[in-house]
Each structure stands twice: as structure tokens, then as C-alpha cells.
């Protein structure tokens, strides 16, 4: 028995590689009072922007997608705010009494405001959808990217490879 153990020690360099699983991200959409929100969740926890970027550090492709989606989200939020302002302007103007039939600020402002509010709504919708699609792409790239084997080094000079999703013995020859 001791001999076999010695053989183990001599010929096989065995060590544990405990499973260190990469988190699985989910996407959830919420519609709030001002536009909609895209949440990225890890299990039940909502991650903020910094945490997502920290997780995606080793996945540059996913990270660029995510940053693009965040930018698009901000743009759509600004456009939504502008659309809200124009809608409020329309509502306000419709309560202003008509001044005279020849010159009327209400009538001159009404049509441009209507057109701009409709246009802003459509454009913000395009940005919103595209930001959602981008977020999904980023999360898919992150979840299903080929897992990198990052070498890390021990004091004894031996190279130690970390294999994700692995429980058991690594046997090196």
C-alpha cells in the first residue's frame, strides 16, 4: 500500500481543481415612469454597471457590446425625456386660449411640436430596442464564451492551470 502511494507521489502530480463556476447572467426588462430599464441579474441579485463590467473584463467582445448598449440606453432616455417635454408642451398649448385669427402662437407651434413628439417617440423606440438586443448579445457572448484557461504560478515554479467547471484530480505527466 505504501509503495503504491509512493508511486502516486513520484509519477503523478495530482491536485484538486475545485469548481469555480463563472456566473450565469440573466436579462430582465422593466418599464418605469421614465423609459424602460434593463437589469442584468446574477441569480436573484441585480448587478450594477460596475459589477457587470468587472465580470466581463476577460470577455472584451461582450464588454464592448455592453458598453454600446449602455450608451444607446442613455441616448434613448434623453430622447424619451425630450418626447415627454414636447408632449407636455402640446398639452400646455392646447389650454392656451386663442389670441386672434390672423396671428396665433398656438397654431404656429402646435404642428412642429406634434411632429417632433411623434418623431422623437419613434427614434427613442429604435434606440431602446437596439439597446435591448445589444444587452442580450453581450450576455449571450458572456454566458457562452469559450472559457479561458488562465495560467497562474506557484512558488515552486510549476505552472498551474485553472480549469473552470472542474471537480476532481488533475493528473500531469
Rounded distance, CA 70 to CA 51, Å?
Answer: 14
* Strand 151-153 with 45-47, pairing: unpaired
- Do residues 17 and 24 make contact, with C-beta atoms less than 8 angstroms apart? no
Q: Does 5 contact other proteins by CB under 8 A? A: yes
Shortest approach of other proteins to residue 1 CB, angstroms?
Answer: 5
3-state secondary structure of 170: strand
Shortest approach of other proteins to residue 102 CB, angstroms?
Answer: 31
Q: Does 4 contact other proteins by CB under 8 A? A: yes
Q: Which of 7, 13, 126, 158 binds other proteins (CB under 8 A)?
A: 126
Buried b (16+ CB within 10 A) or exposed e, 50-78: eebeebbeebeebbebbbbbbebbebbbe
Q: For residues 17 and 89, which CB has a smaller minimum distance to other proteins in the complex?
A: 17
Q: At what angle do helices 60-95 and 105-143 cross, to 10 degrees?
A: 160
Q: Does 68 contact other proteins by CB under 8 A? A: no
Q: Does 161 contact other proteins by CB under 8 A? A: yes
- Angle (nearest 5°) at CA 143 between 137 and 149: 125
Q: Which of 9, 11, 16, 150 binds other proteins (CB under 8 A)?
A: 16
Q: Does 168 contact other proteins by CB under 8 A? A: yes
Q: For residues 43 and 157, which CB has a smaller minimum distance to other proteins in the complex?
A: 43
Which residues bind to other proteins, rule: CB under 8 A? Answer: 1-2, 4-5, 8, 14, 16-17, 19, 21, 24, 26-29, 31, 125-126, 129, 132-133, 136, 140, 143-144, 149, 161, 163-172
Amino acid at each position: 500500500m505504501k509503495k503504491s502511494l509512493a508511486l502516486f507521489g513520484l509519477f503523478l502530480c495530482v491536485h484538486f481543481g475545485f469548481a469555480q463556476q463563472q456566473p450565469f447572467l440573466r436579462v430582465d426588462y422593466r418599464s418605469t415612469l421614465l423609459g424602460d430599464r434593463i437589469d442584468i441579474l446574477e441569480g436573484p441579485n441585480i448587478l450594477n454597471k460596475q459589477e457587470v463590467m468587472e465580470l466581463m473584463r476577460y470577455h472584451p467582445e461582450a464588454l464592448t457590446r455592453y458598453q454600446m448598449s449602455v450608451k444607446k440606453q442613455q441616448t434613448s432616455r434623453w430622447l424619451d425625456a425630450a418626447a415627454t417635454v414636447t408632449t407636455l408642451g402640446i398639452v400646455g398649448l392646447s389650454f392656451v386660449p386663442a389670441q386672434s385669427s390672423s396671428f396665433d402662437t398656438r397654431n404656429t407651434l402646435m404642428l412642429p411640436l406634434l411632429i417632433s413628439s411623434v418623431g422623437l417617440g419613434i427614434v427613442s423606440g429604435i434606440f431602446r430596442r437596439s439597446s435591448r438586443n445589444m444587452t442580450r448579445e453581450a450576455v449571450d457572448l458572456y454566458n457562452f464564451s469559450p472559457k479561458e484557461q488562465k495560467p497562474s504560478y506557484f512558488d515552486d515554479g510549476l505552472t498551474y492551470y485553472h480549469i473552470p467547471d472542474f471537480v476532481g484530480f488533475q493528473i500531469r505527466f
